[in-house]
Structure 1
Amino acid sequence: MDDEIRFDTKIAVLLRDDLATWQRLNVTAFLVSGLAKAEPELLGLPYVDADGTEYLPMFRQPVLVFEGAKEQMAVSHGRVLGRGILHSVFTADLFATGNDRDNRAAVKAVARDQLDLVGIAVHGPKNAVDKILKGARMHP
């Protein structure tokens, strides 16, 4: 009997390959929070330990993290837009802000094709996500 749970969808984060470690972690955390808000069904049930202490739910499926050069970010962003898949973005400008209001203003101030993307998170059908990320490599 095969007990492995298989998913028809994929959650993936694409990070620009020139980020410092702290930036990679920060960007990943921010990006996946957008997916959880946009698609609450991605979350599983709350966790409970043997003592009955309850913990917050997390994603039901793995989050795969990829990396690519600045050019890869632009190509993947174009692909995700072309497929109409909901996604979150993080731009280099957001490293200089300190709150959600200023983050949104920083993104709004730049045209879509001029965004200095350092991260993208997507959730969608496996095939579509694979095509969006074609050319990126798994994060080491």
Structure 2
Amino acid sequence: MFDTKVALVVREDLATWQKLNVVAFLATGIAASAPEAIGEPYIDAADVQYGRMLIQPMMIYGSDGDALRKVRHKAIEREITVVPYIEAMFSTGNDEENRRVFREEGVETMNLVGLAVRGPRNAVDKVIKGLSLHL
């Protein structure tokens, strides 16, 4: 069992391609913020080396926009890692533009479509309390 937990929360009303895109970006955000949680490269029987992955599972939850804002607020209060994705980022074409539209977003009215959180297991459980696994 791990001392930490990773939870990805995605807005349920998105198109399938958007959900997958958001989850992929959020997972990379968690990996980048937690280099200690990255395992060793995988090597197959022919000694071909493959990339490394996070060493622990990432649970994916579904929610609406209000629940996402509550998760964000609770995670920030508990000072755990938060990786956000807002709707405006769907219309940009690069990281610089993503950061610009994110900076312009209102903090209390943030139009979140996804969030990833990582921290102590009990803190993450409290942050995502009430959410259901994404189906």
- Equivalent residue, structure 1, for 2:32: 37
Counterpart of 2:7 (choices 5, 12, 29) is 12
Aligned: 1:82 with 2:77: yes
Counterpart of 2:107 (choices 90, 112, 116) is 112
Kindly indicate whether the alpha-carbon contact (under 8 Å) linking 1:72 and 1:135 is maintained by their aligned counterparts in 2: no
What one-letter code is carried by the residue in structure 1 that aligns with 2:92? T
- Equivalent residue, structure 1, for 2:52: 57
Alignment length (residue pairs): 135
What one-letter code is carried by the residue in structure 2 that aligns with 1:122? V
Helix, strand or coil at the partner of 2:13: coil
In structure 1, C-alpha distance between the alignment counterparts of 2:97 and 2:81, rounded to whole Å: 22
Show structure 1 runs of 5+ residues with no match.
Answer: 1-5
- Equivalent residue, structure 2, for 1:24: 19
Counterpart of 1:71 (choices 66, 88, 108) is 66
- Equivalent residue, structure 2, for 1:131: 126
Show structure 2 runs of 5+ residues with no match.
Answer: none
CA deviation after TM superposition for structure 1 residue 111, in Å: 2.5
CA deviation after TM superposition for structure 1 residue 134, in Å: 1.1
Helix, strand or coil at the partner of 2:113: strand
Deviation readout 1:43-77 (Å, 9 max, x if unpaired) = 11100000000011001011100011111111111
Q: Displaced runs of 4+ in structure 1, greater than 3 A?
A: none
CA deviation after TM superposition for structure 1 residue 37, in Å: 1.1
Kindly indicate whether the alpha-carbon contact (under 8 Å) linking 2:5 and 2:121 is maintained by their aligned counterparts in 1: yes
Identity across aligned pairs (percent)? 41
Helix, strand or coil at the partner of 1:114: coil
CA RMSD of aligned residues (A): 0.8
